[in-house]
Structure 1
Amino acid sequence: MSSYVQESFHNKFNQFIKNKQFESAREMLEKNGDIPKNIKLFNLGYLNYSKGNLVQAKKYYELAKLHGMLGSEVTKSLEKINEELSITSFEDQYTSYENFLFTYKTLPEPHFYLGLGFFLTVFFIGLVKKWHVLTLLGVCSIIVFGYYRYEVEQYDFAYNESDKLIQRGPSVIFEEIGVLPAGGKIFYSKQRNNWRYIEYPEVFRGWINTERNDLK
């Protein structure tokens, strides 16, 4: 896409947003196949932010980062959303392990195979050259890589759409043990009807009802 066409597209997209023609803006993004994936994701984030859908905006901005958009614009956009959602302190409670799991789960599929291919290459080079340290490093890396792949596949990933009460069990008869704020990233495992059990982050481990808006 030439710089002129890109600027024209950008101006038209912003005009749709300004006029609150959100569906037209979305259709414009979806129909244009020349836009890089990370730019498209960022624009979807901006579109959802303009609509007031902060959780979806956060999701798209984070996906834009994972697809290689590392500039200050996306960082500032995420900081602004976290501030508006009041979840900055919430995300500060994630452990390094939990942050790694969240990143690993949302990593684009090609990145996973690229990493696996790299470690396999290291292993085979070490094997052929009889460099035992390199071979061992390759084996250990593949095991760790596979373990985390197995670990994250056990859970479903979601962005929490609205503030939810956390119960000790899958029913309102159980004790309320906390509040999961909107915009929070969670891994959940067990499901009972409309109830999901949060595995990570551990500080919010418990059951939430996905169909109920607890804190209006």
Structure 2
Amino acid sequence: MKNTSIVNMTKPSGTSSRQPQSTQSTKKNSEDASSFEELYLAKDYKGAAQFLLNNKQQFDSGIFHFNLGTVYSKMGDYPIARFHLEKAIQEGYVNSASLNNLNFIRSQNNNEDLTTSSSLPDKIIDSLSSLPSQGYISLTLALILLSLLLIKSKIVKQKISIMLILLLSFSPLALSHFYVEKLNKAITLNEVVIYEGPSKIFNEKGKLKPGSKIILGDFKDGWFYIKFPISFAGWISKDQLGLY
């Protein structure tokens, strides 16, 4: 079993909620967890980050990104912290700690991006892209169970209605597989200039602050087209993006 050491991050008050916790299954994992926790508790955040990067294979993916996002937040590097926390949630590490930490990071960045957009299409895309794959699976299972109960209780009797309700039950899973998983999500790691075309020879349209969440569309010669938020549509260089 991989190391499952986790840490709870900064609360809005600026204090840690409690000491790191860990579960180890081998002596090596136990030593890794102890080393990481010692660095973290000693407030050697650069050392803790480097330790995580050097021992990535010892951690489950979601926990690795959660821990790294936590450490970068302690270092005040909120854009890259947001990237790793968003990645942790996408990998299925969803709990009160990861959600609270991500909300804290968003409050520190205070950006105009997909998450803060008031546009209805942007809000829908943000909600869809923020739900991990396990969420779509759980929703599908719940709808299947509800459908079976309706069929068993004979509330739904006609064959065509039964077929339709069963098909609809699988719609969340289909939406996830055929659309959401294909979205190119990214966090801007530095300030990014938006251009009217895929090159610096085109006119500038605006800028995105570090730590902004965006959905990318077409890719051409090292440039991505911003698909969402709609108000920031344009082309940006891939060099300053954390893709996930």
State TM-score, norm by structure 2.
Answer: 0.64
Name 1:108's counterpart in structure 2: 132
Name 1:162's counterpart in structure 2: 190
Relative to structure 1, the CA distance from residue 30 to residue 15 in structure 2 (aligned partners, 3 Å threshold; closer, same or farther) is farther
Relative to structure 1, the CA distance from residue 154 to residue 67 in structure 2 (aligned partners, 3 Å threshold; closer, same or farther) is closer
Distance, in Å, in 2 between the alignment partners of 1:173 and 1:63 is: 33
Name 2:38's counterpart in structure 1: 12
Structure 2: runs of 5 or more not aligned: 5-18, 23-32
SS of residue paired to 1:132: coil
Name 1:56's counterpart in structure 2: 80
The Cα of 1:186 is off from its aligned counterpart by 1.4
Name 2:174's counterpart in structure 1: 146
SS of residue paired to 1:6: coil
CA contact (8 A) 1:122 1:138 kept: no
Structure with larger RCO (C-alpha < 8 A, sep 6+): 2
1:67 aligns with 2:93: yes
Amino acid at match of 2:21: Q
Name 1:131's counterpart in structure 2: 155
Larger helix percent: 1
Name 1:184's counterpart in structure 2: 212
Query: Which moved further from structure 2: 120-129 or 175-184?
Result: 120-129
Distance, in Å, in 2 between the alignment partners of 1:153 and 1:30 is: 24
Identity across matched positions, percent: 20
| Cα deviations by residue, 1:78-118 (Å, 9 ceiling, x for unpaired) | 4553354341x444225454344334335333332222222
Number of residues of Structure 1 aligned to a counterpart in Structure 2: 205
| Cα deviations by residue, 1:122-170 (Å, 9 ceiling, x for unpaired) | 2333334432299566544544653465332443111122211111221
Relative to structure 1, the CA distance from residue 94 to residue 64 in structure 2 (aligned partners, 3 Å threshold; closer, same or farther) is farther
| Cα deviations by residue, 1:44-73 (Å, 9 ceiling, x for unpaired) | 2122224554222113334556633225x8
CA contact (8 A) 2:214 2:226 kept: yes
Distance, in Å, in 2 between the alignment partners of 1:190 and 1:30 is: 33
CA contact (8 A) 1:165 1:178 kept: yes
1:175 aligns with 2:175: no
Distance, in Å, in 1 between the alignment partners of 2:20 and 2:105 is: 30
Relative to structure 1, the CA distance from residue 94 to residue 196 in structure 2 (aligned partners, 3 Å threshold; closer, same or farther) is farther
Name 2:50's counterpart in structure 1: 23
Distance, in Å, in 2 between the alignment partners of 1:156 and 1:80 is: 24
Amino acid at match of 1:206: G
Query: Which moved further from structure 2: 136-145 or 106-115?
Result: 136-145
Backbone CA RMSD of aligned residues = 3.8
